Amino acid sequence: MTERLIVGICGSPRKGGAEILLRRALAEAENRGSITTKIVLLRQEKISYCSGCLECSDPVEQGSGCQVHSDSMDKIVDLLLECHGLIMATPVYLGGPTAQLKTLMDRTEPLLRYVAGPWKSAMRNKIGAGIAVGGNRGGGQEATLQALHHFFFVHDMVVVGTGPEEWPGCYLGTSAWSGIMDYRSEDLEAVRHDQVGMRAAAIIGRRVAEAVGRMFR
Amino acid sequence: MTERLIVGICGSPRKGGAEILLRRALAEAENRGSITTKIVLLRQEKISYCSGCLECSDPVEQGSGCQVHSDSMDKIVDLLLECHGLIMATPVYLGGPTAQLKTLMDRTEPLLRYVAGPWKSAMRNKIGAGIAVGGNRGGGQEATLQALHHFFFVHDMVVVGTGPEEWPGCYLGTSAWSGIMDYRSEDLEAVRHDQVGMRAAAIIGRRVAEAVGRMFR
Amino acid sequence: MTERLIVGICGSPRKGGAEILLRRALAEAENRGSITTKIVLLRQEKISYCSGCLECSDPVEQGSGCQVHSDSMDKIVDLLLECHGLIMATPVYLGGPTAQLKTLMDRTEPLLRYVAGPWKSAMRNKIGAGIAVGGNRGGGQEATLQALHHFFFVHDMVVVGTGPEEWPGCYLGTSAWSGIMDYRSEDLEAVRHDQVGMRAAAIIGRRVAEAVGRMFR
Amino acid sequence: MTERLIVGICGSPRKGGAEILLRRALAEAENRGSITTKIVLLRQEKISYCSGCLECSDPVEQGSGCQVHSDSMDKIVDLLLECHGLIMATPVYLGGPTAQLKTLMDRTEPLLRYVAGPWKSAMRNKIGAGIAVGGNRGGGQEATLQALHHFFFVHDMVVVGTGPEEWPGCYLGTSAWSGIMDYRSEDLEAVRHDQVGMRAAAIIGRRVAEAVGRMFR
């Protein structure tokens, strides 16, 4: 069977929970066989805001991406074009993904259905799934996963949650709690104490690998 | 100060978590002073579905409520008209409020902005807050609270979450986990082991009482 | 290629918008070839509430479904077991699916990952998509689609939105507006005036058919 | 009656729809009397990302805000501290608020319940409401409003939607459509053609003014 690529993007400005969970997910995905993974850590990248100019969807500039900025998005877009599955991981900041991750999300405009050229609908039918980790339980993890899902749907991707393992049933994706030992922990490894979250990260990795296998035969 | 009324509605078909949490919230609200509370347990009531006929908003039938059914909604509407604050509690069923509670929600059509007569916008400016309890952590509690909030917004109510206590930060409302000891527990008292949820129930009670006090002076 | 089955469930108590949109979606799905469709109209069915007893997931009663009620769910479960794709359509009632549809959703508990026997995770990897129609624009359509998605995720289904057609971009699913001509229209055919919604219904049908084709080869 | 302050924050990098709608809302709020308004346009400001260091909530640095960055947030925090109501307006970018606005949201960490000193829970009980405008109908407006609401709830604010006017019923807040004439319009004034959205902007202004009047007497 052909090798399939799953890309993981971590939206955290810090080492810590989101990255730990994402690495766990990607490791499990690789364990399924026929899967390669690559990881992008936004704490190491620099991306400018989308300025909303819509020049990227101007028919004259066919599929040539952002006409304004040249930055880390250049290589990230290459990975997005290449991948079959995408796992986005983020800490919950004020009820949603980090602004750093949102910046990346906004800059994917040149891959939408609206552009002309070869990047049109480039993410279509790729598998998407989310990982959210918060310092509080019920602290915005579900809302954050819904925001990631919305992004996937705008890209005409196919979205999976967890399953089929019975435990833990955080259905929308991986919902982890870095504050399980101490609700304002500054320990960057704290999420490792969250058995529910760590297990859910492994499950989402297997789930995406399975769905990629079915969609891209 | 005049006595203010907070009504609690429990959408569970069973005794158990949602009712325990709601009673905790209402008790805390009463502790704030100048607050009376009443509770409605849907497991003891019978409500017919809204049939979507819109006769209740027909100008001829001014404010006279549902023209089709006479059932437990008659007395529940009386409580809704009378109250200053409303706390709705529900177990999470398939990612949202129970169908039993949704039936009640749908039947509040005669209190919307669209009717003529004295019930028009009857819930306007009343305080709303939610309690959700699930067998899984991250198992739909936030989505369920958002569904309750949406209901409050359709009624032009004013919506509060938790706060200002630091712990636990389940911001949208009370997010509890009945499966903390055993993820498919059939113990109806299981939620009592969830310290986060029990505390968040007390907080939401105080929060609604405070907001009622400010809005209805 | 083997014939694949897409089931459409309409949650409206009335003839009208949701049914019109659902029939449009199913017709388009059939046009793709190798697809059969069946429709369930909840206005013609009678389903009892789930009582939350969890007997259906008791290992002794392996995969034998609800131990309490025998009603229209018997035949609906047969369709759910048989199908490869599921489109759920509903009018927006108080910010979410109708209570009638929520009743059906709650009664799918015997098909979840928690039961023993042949129905365990029966919906796993099937394709899900939603159609929501409201009397108001921005009147809860997205929230309703999210509620349907949550249901699909609890069942470990694979969820698709619209695309890849550029217009109209109501990404989460079909978002229609029956009040485009008259915001409290009682005309059951009113949705036909909503070109955006009607087109989005056709698109969702094609989208589900495509995804079914890819997932079930 | 004392003058009350409503602050409007526009998250768009461009002139255009969100700003037009926000100005309309603020003008209507002022028309209610006893209300002053101020506007912040993020296209004119520069804000660094929150780096998640949590130093702002370190008890030693009591209430002294961000310990890392000094930028436009300094003056924006002053407005947040001073205001009684907050209206946040944003175009829908990939299903949510712009990254520019999310950056601002993330940087409000020093006003949360977790800090020590005078800024602790500084936004508590202030009124929050949202305005979202998208190029597509059903293109993420509701999800964006929910993201803004989540932010308000994290800050223990009190959230209002629209009402009590019957038309248009986009309940969660102002939901506007800049693509009503042309779905990929680059006309920055295009939203003026959206009667539903323009009217809903006026309504949200009146609604916030009313709620501020009741909460801060």
In chain C, residues with a C-beta closer than 8 Å to the C-beta of A211 are 125, 158
Q: Give residue C62's pLDDT band: very low, low, confident or very high (50, 70, 90).
A: low
Interface test with D, best of B57, B84, B113 (most D CBs within 10 A): B113
Tell me which CATH code domain A4-215 carries.
3.40.50.360
Cα–Cα distance list, B27 to B34, B36, D154 (Å): 12, 9, 24
pLDDT in tens, C25-38: 999 999 998 999 99
Nearest-CA distance B78 → chain A (Å): 33
CA pair distance D19, D14, nearest whole angstrom? 9
DSSP string, A17-79: HHHHHHHHHHHHHHHTSSEEEEEEEGGG---PPP----GGG-TTSTT---SS--STHHHHHHH
pLDDT of residue D62: 53
Cβ distance of D138 and C167 shorter than 8 Å: no
Q: Report yes or no: B65 and B56 within 8 Å, Cβ to Cβ.
A: yes
CA pair distance D194, A70, nearest whole angstrom? 35
D153 to chain B, any CB pair closer than 8 A? The answer is yes
Cα–Cα distance list, C23 to B97, C7, C20, C172 (Å): 28, 11, 5, 19
B163 to chain D, any CB pair closer than 8 A? The answer is yes
CA pair distance A209, A20, nearest whole angstrom? 18
B172 to chain D, any CB pair closer than 8 A? The answer is yes
Phi and psi dihedrals of D172, rounded to 5?
A: -70, -20
Which ranges of chain B would DSSP assign to H, the alpha helix? 17-31, 73-82, 99-106, 141-154, 195-215
Superfamily name with CATH number, domain C4-195: Flavodoxin domain (3.40.50.360)
> Which tokens hold the place of C123?
């919906």
Query: Considering chain D, what percentage of its residues have pLDDT values greater than 70?
Result: 96
D149 to chain B, any CB pair closer than 8 A? The answer is yes
Query: Is residue B88 helix, strand or coil?
Result: strand
Q: What is the mean pLDDT of residues D80-85?
A: 98
pLDDT of residue A64: 72
Which member of C91, C106, C147 has the closest CB to residue B98?
C106
In chain A, residues with a C-beta closer than 8 Å to the C-beta of D100 are 49
B110 to chain C, any CB pair closer than 8 A? The answer is no
ipTM value: 0.96
pLDDT of residue B213: 95
Q: Give residue D15's pLDDT band: very low, low, confident or very high (50, 70, 90).
A: very high
pLDDT of residue C188: 87
Interface test with B, best of D108, D109, D125, D175 (most B CBs within 10 A): D125
Least confident of A15-24, B69-78, B183-192, B198-207: B183-192
CA C201, C203, C206, C208 dihedral sign is: negative
Whether residue D63 has pLDDT greater than 60: no
Q: Give residue B2's pLDDT band: very low, low, confident or very high (50, 70, 90).
A: confident
Q: Report yes or no: D122 and D141 within 8 Å, Cβ to Cβ.
A: no
Q: Give residue C164's pLDDT band: very low, low, confident or very high (50, 70, 90).
A: confident
Which residue bears the tokens 């609401």?
D149
pLDDT in tens, B97-125: 999 999 999 999 999 998 888 899 999 99
A166 to chain C, any CB pair closer than 8 A? The answer is yes
Interface test with B, best of A92, A133, A142 (most B CBs within 10 A): A142
Nearest-CA distance B126 → chain A (Å): 25
Strand partners, A36: A5
CA D40, D43, D45, D51 dihedral sign is: positive
C150 to chain A, any CB pair closer than 8 A? The answer is yes
Q: What is the mean pLDDT of residues D38-66?
A: 86
Phi and psi dihedrals of A78, rounded to 5?
A: -55, -45
Strand partners, B5: B36
> Which tokens hold the place of D202?
């006026």
pLDDT in tens, C71-97: 999 999 999 999 999 999 999 999 999
Cβ distance of D183 and C171 shorter than 8 Å: no
Superfamily name with CATH number, domain D4-45+75-101+129-215: Flavodoxin domain (3.40.50.360)
pLDDT of residue B163: 83
Q: What is the mean pLDDT of chain B?
A: 93
Query: Considering chain A, what percentage of its residues have pLDDT values greater than 70?
Result: 96
Cβ distance of C158 and A114 shorter than 8 Å: no
Could you state, in order of their start, the residue ranges of all structural domains in chain B? 4-215
pLDDT of residue B101: 98
Q: Give residue C182's pLDDT band: very low, low, confident or very high (50, 70, 90).
A: confident
CA pair distance C51, C106, nearest whole angstrom? 9
Phi and psi dihedrals of C121, rounded to 5?
A: 50, 40
Cβ distance of C168 and D138 shorter than 8 Å: yes
pLDDT of residue C87: 98
Burial class (CB in 10 A: 0-12, 13-18, 19+), D54: middle
pLDDT in tens, D107-129: 999 999 988 888 999 999 999 99
Q: Indicate the residue type of D120.
A: K
pLDDT in tens, A76-123: 999 999 999 999 999 999 999 999 999 999 999 999 998 888 899 999
Query: Considering chain A, what percentage of its residues have pLDDT values greater than 90?
Result: 79
Q: What is the mean pLDDT of chain A?
A: 93
Q: Report yes or no: A105 and A151 within 8 Å, Cβ to Cβ.
A: yes
Cα–Cα distance list, A130 to A50, A73, A135, C101 (Å): 22, 20, 17, 27
Which member of B138, B168, B170 has the closest CB to residue A175?
B138
Whether residue C100 has pLDDT greater than 80: yes
pLDDT of residue B146: 98
pLDDT in tens, A152-172: 999 999 999 998 888 877 899
Nearest-CA distance A136 → chain B (Å): 5
Q: Which residues contact D67 (CB under 8 A, 6 or more apart)?
A: D53, D55, D56, D58, D61
pLDDT of residue B60: 60
pLDDT of residue C61: 54
Bridging pattern class, strands B158-160 and D158-160: antiparallel
Whether residue A146 has pLDDT greater than 60: yes
What is the Cα gyration radius of chain C?
17
Q: Indicate the residue type of C194.
A: D
**Rounded to the nearest 10 degrees, how much is the dihedral formed by the CA atoms of D195, A112, A141, D208?**
-20
Query: Is residue D136 helix, strand or coil?
Result: coil
Query: Is residue B89 helix, strand or coil?
Result: strand
A169 to chain B, any CB pair closer than 8 A? The answer is yes
Q: Give residue C148's pLDDT band: very low, low, confident or very high (50, 70, 90).
A: very high
pLDDT of residue D1: 58
Q: Give residue B170's pLDDT band: very low, low, confident or very high (50, 70, 90).
A: confident
